[in-house]
Structure 1
């Protein structure tokens, strides 16, 4: 059943701009990154002393020498969110997703001696706003409301990470918008509530965490912005990294057919209508998630959860195989 569902990821059609910007004219604050790859940050920004990154040289991630994304020991449990209890359950669920992503990617970074990839996190609670230092094309700093039809990563915002440590590079999640998912409102698109839910939200959060991973890799290896993933690849590699994390859910026997269909439902909403629009078409984004989830072994799943596949395909400027 899982194989059939993965095939669905490659065939759904549709379009939208949800994960990119507040409106069609604005550039995504979520892809902001410092020109020097983050090399000017102070020691207190990232929590690197906790990771042991100063005990040796950074490792390499090329082909089979690159480790698989480790599977957290915790189970991936349902959110318990329903359309009637979102006010009490959505924020804890989003926090638990970030905790799980911190666990998986933190272990991978430790294996490579790349430091601590945990992200700052800002959950914009209902009725509140948040001012980000990321800017749109018109260079305006944005005040973000809890019902913004978007989620994003801002490389220059500093917020506490999951351990409460101020961390430069922050994922911003508007809680009211996420609550709408369980009511059939997926970032402004009306969708039958029976086909969306936990993994719809999880896929969005994992995608934004993928942007964080690009930022942390660039910081660890001092990669300049000129060598970042180019064009649509900046979004597609985040999708691929989301697929890597989904593979850890599969490894815990917690990835159901329903989960994958919930992710598939999201794709028509976030895909571009045509090529070279900045984020990837629905088919391209489906292919990116599938690459992260199954690697080169569909349908056997023997090579799943391999960040090296994502790096080679979507970041060839630095990680060609």
Structure 2
């Protein structure tokens, strides 16, 4: 993935080293519970009920001293390029539909920081806050993905950012508000969870739309695409629950199965059309 060819964004807010919040990161250890918690951290999955690619070396992991500073700067550049590309893609889509795209800001932090949705903590994972229209991202997740999952890679990292931007698009289109109202009137937790699944799958589809529309600039290879498919497979609710519990509880799913996540990401990627990302099918 040639992310260096992408446009840069001016909407990156770097809070690292500002002294705010708690220092440090996620403790690393062995065992499936750590891997599952780490997956939740990366992709915004609530694993509290569970735990109870190519060019993977293109951006070196952070370390102490000048090497760590250089790595941090490269991560900042990468995030700026991916965010800039999402602004270009969604700006064009909105314009063609007679609307103006309002880009989100992406906050880089280390350890913890404040957000309008509460404290952003490394244990929560990358997430989008609709109250301040910002995406929050702990920069350590790039290195942790490589070290703990033995994979990742540029397109897998970009997929995560594009997924969170997808939630911003949902907010701009009023989809998030509709889902919130539907969840509050739901007759059961299982029904409310189904709305959550649909929201997350649509964000996956929107990430695929971005991937397709930016693919000419990024020169994506099949290996890049496969890394995203592998990532989507690994973070399905069924895969995580089966790994931790040995069985699955479908009513508790909040993000969708591995098959669903791959299917909707690929639907967005193959068509490049957000109109094909109706995961709700009239349910809201």
Quote the residue 2:255 is aligned against: 279
Quote the residue 2:94 is aligned against: 109
Per the alignment, do residues 24 and 207 of structure 1 end up closer, same or farther by CA in structure 2, a change over 3 Å counting? Answer: same
Name whichever of 203-212 and 171-180 sits farther off: 171-180
Quote the residue 2:60 is aligned against: 82
Displacement, 1:212? 0.6
Displacement, 1:286? 0.4
Instruction: Confirm or deny that 1:307 pairs with 2:274.
Output: yes
Displacement, 1:23? 4.5
Quote the residue 1:241 is aligned against: 206
| Aligned positions of 1:44-123 closer than 5 A | 80-83=58-61, 86-123=71-108
- C-alpha RMSD over aligned residues: 3.2
Question: Does the 8 Å CA contact 1:240/1:289 hold for their aligned counterparts?
Answer: yes
Name whichever of 112-121 and 210-219 sits farther off: 112-121
Q: Which runs of 5+ in 1 are unaligned?
A: 1-13, 27-76, 135-140, 158-168, 295-303
Distance 1:103 1:112 in 2: 14
Quote the residue 1:20 is aligned against: 44
Instruction: Confirm or deny that 1:133 pairs with 2:116.
Output: yes
Displacement, 1:285? 0.3
Q: Tell me the TM-score normalised to structure 2 length.
A: 0.66
Question: What is the CA deviation profile of residues 87-120 of structure 1, one whole-angstrom value per residue up to 9, with x for unaligned ones?
Answer: 2311210111111101110111112122223112
- Equivalent residues, number: 215
Displacement, 1:222? 8.6
Equivalent residue for 1:205, pick from 134, 158, 161: 161
Q: Which runs of 5+ in 2 are unaligned?
A: 1-34, 63-69, 184-193, 239-247
More helix, by proportion: 2
Per the alignment, do residues 253 and 265 of structure 1 end up closer, same or farther by CA in structure 2, a change over 3 Å counting? Answer: same
Quote the residue 1:289 is aligned against: 265
Per the alignment, do residues 284 and 143 of structure 1 end up closer, same or farther by CA in structure 2, a change over 3 Å counting? Answer: closer
Question: What is the CA deviation profile of residues 211-251 of structure 1, one whole-angstrom value per residue up to 9, with x for unaligned ones?
Answer: 111001118x9968436992310100000000101111334
Flag the structure with more relative contact order, 1 or 2, with Cα contacts below 8 A and sequence separation at least 6. Answer: 1
Question: Does the 8 Å CA contact 1:86/1:179 hold for their aligned counterparts?
Answer: no
Instruction: Confirm or deny that 1:250 pairs with 2:274.
Output: no
